[in-house]
Chain A
Amino acid sequence: MIAIQNLSRTYTVGDESVEALKNVELKIPKGELTVIVGPSGSGKSTLLHIIGGLDRPTSGTVEVDGEEIHELSDRKLSNYRNSHVGFVFQDFKLHPHLTILENLKIPLLFHPKRVKDSTAKKRAREMLKIFKLEQREKHRPHEISGGQKQRVAIARALMNNPKILLADEPTGNLDSVTGEKIVKLLVKIQSVKKMTMVIVTHDKAIARYASNIIQIKDGKIVHKNGHKKFLN
């Protein structure tokens, strides 16, 4: 369960203050697929980053499985990002100078328990096999297609068996056919692993599979569980 209370996030751009999130109150159920929708600049990515521990709120609280992550030290928050959550980004965010195998190894290398390189390699190969990418092991990101890049990114997000998977516009950089395949892959992962998955998207195809849909506008939640309304 992700419980957000009175959450605000204000950025300072030059002399101006921009309120990205305003007093957000939200509960995201455990083990379900939740989709956050809203127009560009509405604050949905900011919300996702705060849930994932990539950013801190200006005020309010974020509780993930009973732990108040907004109060964690930098080290503990790093460990949370490493072991508790997996990120999938719109632009994949793969390390351009590392091979696909090495990209997959990164989360294990920074695991608080310091996994051996051989163990990390073994686990990465298993993931490549699951995602049918074993032929691309030694390729670099620029040598594979967009769909393959996103599969690598999803595989990397799952390397440490996180409890939560956060995806920010995962189909945004893909054509509709590839996007559809990625959506189905994410849905399958969620249903098999019964993990908490939060996806920020404009894509109604993803929303169709969601248990919960949250609509956000101008930094405020406008609808919670507004499933049918959004689809209609």
Chain B
Amino acid sequence: MYFKLAQKNLKTQPQRTVLTTAGIAIAIAALTALTAFNAGLKNAILETVARRGPLTQLTVQPETAGNVMKIFSAGTDSGITADKTAELKKIPHVTAVHPEMVYSNLSSLRVSVLGQTFQTDTMIFGVPYEFIADADPEGKLKKSWEAATTPYPVIISRDILDLYNFTVAPTNRLPAFSEKDVIGQDLTVLPGTSTFFPVLNGTTQTIRGEVAGFSDKADLVGITLPLEVVRDLNKAANPDYKDRYLKIFVEVDSIANVESVQTAVEKMNLSASSAKEEARALEENLRVVSIGLSAISLIILIIAGLTIANTFFSSVRERQHEIGLLRALGATRTDIQKMFLAEAATIGFWGGLIGIIAGIASGIFLDGIVLSSLPDFASKPTTVMAFDLTNLILTLAFATALSIVFAFFPSSKAANLQPLEALNAG
């Protein structure tokens, strides 16, 4: 009954109803778009983190990790031993371990592109196939990776391609390359040969490789080869070599158990970092942006709320005679208040619905502008807007509630009018 009356009443003041609804719609559109942008940024960060490894993955390193020179020694004495790797496997909730081995000498890489031959220093990492499976969605690489026959398949970090395309190529007026352009490119790897420190060079040795794919998990400071190849290189450099790993990537059965596994790893005098931790740190940084966006939304909503209050105060003033008439015919104070609140809820609901639709439309439009203004890079997000159905429903409920809350005092004023006084007004 109250909503039927509300609809009738709102139709009698079309201009005011449209303007108030528009006020709510604008505020809710801004809230929808800002919330989606905030969630979109969060998702983009999580996506970037997740690309390097799932949130259920821990990166285990010797406690000495972080010192560049120690990286080389990780191939010999300070790396994680095979025994410790086996121990890691036994930790409850650990489902798999993927070791990463490093060639313990300086190395370089020779490549011929655009009619020129370039040579640069590199590190050589070795991993099992499972770890770089993301670079091989069709499973074509598995056989050659496990067979480890020459030319060896080489996986490169996607970030290297981005670095080249956005820094090296533009400054040297070189063409940018896509992943497809580079896959299949022949490489010559020179283990033990450094262009920076030629004095350390031993016997000249070359191995042939071919770019097989790109991975977000591959180490940024070098190339990634099958584990067996790096193991053989280490053995060739040191006949007494025993397996030592630079890193072990530990897979945990669920996010909830990551922390307990991390504690267990640290008890083994190893350091462990999780993607979850990284994501949390990034989310912490994002909090400032979130607070800023929330503050803007709050200001817009308060303005919209005050507009509703002002509209309803005017409405009550103008409709005193009508209120008096309804009271004379038996409407109680509660009836009058409910009638006004139903009007507020109607405005809030439709304003909210229109606002959500406008918010989604403007969000999609802004998404297009933001994405088209960003260069194409490997970790470029597919969207910076994330619309969540639950959030949208809550926003609609919030818009309705906001209208009701801000119309409460005007409606109370209407309800408390004396019937005779109101009837004789106007």
Residue positions of A touching B, CB distance < 8 A: 49, 52, 54-55, 74-75, 78-79, 81-83, 87, 93, 95, 97-98, 102, 106-107, 109-111, 114, 117, 156, 160
Which B304-342 residues have C-beta < 8 A from chain A? 322, 325-335
Specify the chain A residue showing the minimal Cβ separation from B9. A97
The answer to whether B423 and A78 touch across the interface, beta carbons within 8 angstroms, is no
The answer to whether A93 and B325 touch across the interface, beta carbons within 8 angstroms, is yes
Determine the distance from Cα of A111 to Cα of B332 in the docked complex, in whole angstroms: 10
Specify the chain B residue showing the minimal Cβ separation from A97. B12
Tell me which residues across on chain B come within 8 A of A79, comparing CB atoms.
330, 332
The answer to whether B420 and A83 touch across the interface, beta carbons within 8 angstroms, is no
Is B8 in contact with chain A by the CB < 8 A criterion?
yes
B337 to chain A, nearest CB (A): 12
The answer to whether B330 and A111 touch across the interface, beta carbons within 8 angstroms, is yes
The answer to whether A75 and B1 touch across the interface, beta carbons within 8 angstroms, is no
Partner pick for A74 among B4, B11, B332, CB 8 A cutoff? B332
Specify the chain B residue showing the minimal Cβ separation from A111. B330
Tell me which residues across on chain A come within 8 A of B418, comparing CB atoms.
55
Specify the chain A residue showing the minimal Cβ separation from B334. A75
Tell me which residues across on chain B come within 8 A of A97, comparing CB atoms.
8-9, 11-12
The answer to whether A81 and B8 touch across the interface, beta carbons within 8 angstroms, is no
Partner pick for B423 among A54, A74, A109, CB 8 A cutoff? A54
Tell me which residues across on chain A come within 8 A of B226, comparing CB atoms.
none
The answer to whether B330 and A95 touch across the interface, beta carbons within 8 angstroms, is no
| B-side interface mostly | helix
Provided the pairs A93-B325, A97-B8, A97-B9 are in contact, do residues A54 and B419 lie with their beta carbons within 8 angstroms?
A: yes
The answer to whether B331 and A110 touch across the interface, beta carbons within 8 angstroms, is yes
Determine the distance from Cα of A28 to Cα of B12 in the docked complex, in whole angstroms: 42
Tell me which residues across on chain B come within 8 A of A82, comparing CB atoms.
329-331
Determine the distance from Cα of A156 to Cα of B420 in the docked complex, in whole angstroms: 18
Determine the distance from Cα of A107 to Cα of B329 in the docked complex, in whole angstroms: 6
The answer to whether B330 and A110 touch across the interface, beta carbons within 8 angstroms, is yes
Tell me which residues across on chain B come within 8 A of A75, comparing CB atoms.
332-334
The answer to whether A78 and B12 touch across the interface, beta carbons within 8 angstroms, is no
Tell me which residues across on chain B come within 8 A of A107, comparing CB atoms.
329-330
Interface size on B, residues (CB 8 A): 23
The answer to whether B420 and A78 touch across the interface, beta carbons within 8 angstroms, is no
The answer to whether A54 and B333 touch across the interface, beta carbons within 8 angstroms, is no
Determine the distance from Cα of A83 to Cα of B332 in the docked complex, in whole angstroms: 12
The answer to whether A81 and B330 touch across the interface, beta carbons within 8 angstroms, is yes
Tell me which residues across on chain A come within 8 A of B325, comparing CB atoms.
93, 95
B331 to chain A, nearest CB (A): 5
The answer to whether B329 and A156 touch across the interface, beta carbons within 8 angstroms, is yes
Minimum-distance CB pairs A-B, first 6: A82-B330, A78-B332, A97-B12, A110-B330, A110-B331, A54-B420
Since A83-B330, A109-B5, A114-B1 are in contact, a sample of 9 more A-B pairs with Cβ atoms closer than 8 Å, ordered by chain A residue number, is A52-B328, A78-B333, A78-B335, A79-B330, A79-B332, A82-B331, A87-B328, A110-B330, A111-B330
The answer to whether A106 and B423 touch across the interface, beta carbons within 8 angstroms, is no
Give the interface centre of B1, B5, B330, B335 by most chain A CB atoms within 10 Å: B330
A182 to chain B, nearest CB (A): 19
Tell me which residues across on chain B come within 8 A of A49, comparing CB atoms.
420
Determine the distance from Cα of A97 to Cα of B12 in the docked complex, in whole angstroms: 7
Q: List 12 A-B contacts (CB under 8 A).
A: A55-B418, A55-B419, A75-B333, A78-B330, A78-B331, A81-B327, A83-B330, A93-B423, A97-B11, A98-B8, A110-B326, A160-B330
Partner pick for A78 among B4, B5, B8, B327, CB 8 A cutoff? B327
Specify the chain A residue showing the minimal Cβ separation from B418. A55
Tell me which residues across on chain B come within 8 A of A114, comparing CB atoms.
1
Specify the chain A residue showing the minimal Cβ separation from B12. A97
Specify the chain B residue showing the minimal Cβ separation from A83. B330
Determine the distance from Cα of A106 to Cα of B335 in the docked complex, in whole angstroms: 12
Tell me which residues across on chain A come within 8 A of B330, comparing CB atoms.
78-79, 81-83, 107, 110-111, 160
Tell me which residues across on chain A come within 8 A of B423, comparing CB atoms.
54, 93
Determine the distance from Cα of A195 to Cα of B329 in the docked complex, in whole angstroms: 18
The answer to whether A117 and B332 touch across the interface, beta carbons within 8 angstroms, is no
Which B1-34 residues have C-beta < 8 A from chain A? 1, 4-5, 8-9, 11-12
B341 to chain A, nearest CB (A): 16
Determine the distance from Cα of A98 to Cα of B334 in the docked complex, in whole angstroms: 21
A86 to chain B, nearest CB (A): 9
Tell me which residues across on chain B come within 8 A of A160, comparing CB atoms.
330
The answer to whether A55 and B322 touch across the interface, beta carbons within 8 angstroms, is no
Give the interface centre of A82, A117, A156 by most chain B CB atoms within 10 Å: A82
Tell me which residues across on chain A come within 8 A of B327, comparing CB atoms.
78, 81
